Amino acid sequence: MTLEELEGAYRRDRAAFERIAVAIVGDKQFGYDAVPPEGSILVFDSGIAVMRKDGLYLALEASSEGLLLAAARGLERVPPS
């Protein structure tokens, strides 16, 4: 899936993405605002992190906080083909 396809899926079904955020954080109101500002990452004790990079909302999962942060730092935009 390309970045553009993922962005399109988010735009078409934002409600589904919000339901996932609510399920991750366990709180309806906080779930809607669970993604931090651009350039920041929100790490939960469950090994899940949410972030926004280049306008794209991302959820990451790893076995440790260090791996989550490493994955977030390593993200790069894929050039269009």
Task: Report if residue 80 sits inside a domain.
Answer: no
CB atoms under 10 Å from CB of 5, counted, come to 9
Task: Report if residue 56 sits inside a domain.
Answer: yes
Predicted local distance difference test score (pLDDT) of residue 81:
79
Task: Report if residue 13 sits inside a domain.
Answer: yes
Task: Report if residue 79 sits inside a domain.
Answer: no
Token pair belonging to 74: 């390593």
Which distant-in-sequence residues (6+ apart) come within 8 Å of 66 by Cβ?
Answer: none
Task: Report if residue 15 sits inside a domain.
Answer: yes
pLDDT-flagged residues of the chain (< 70): 1-7, 10, 21, 24-35
Considering its fold, how many domains does the chain have in total? 1
Task: Report if residue 44 sits inside a domain.
Answer: yes
The parent domain of residue 52 ranges over: 3-74
Predicted local distance difference test score (pLDDT) of residue 79:
84
The reported pTM is 0.53
CA distance 10 to 47: 23
Predicted local distance difference test score (pLDDT) of residue 41:
82
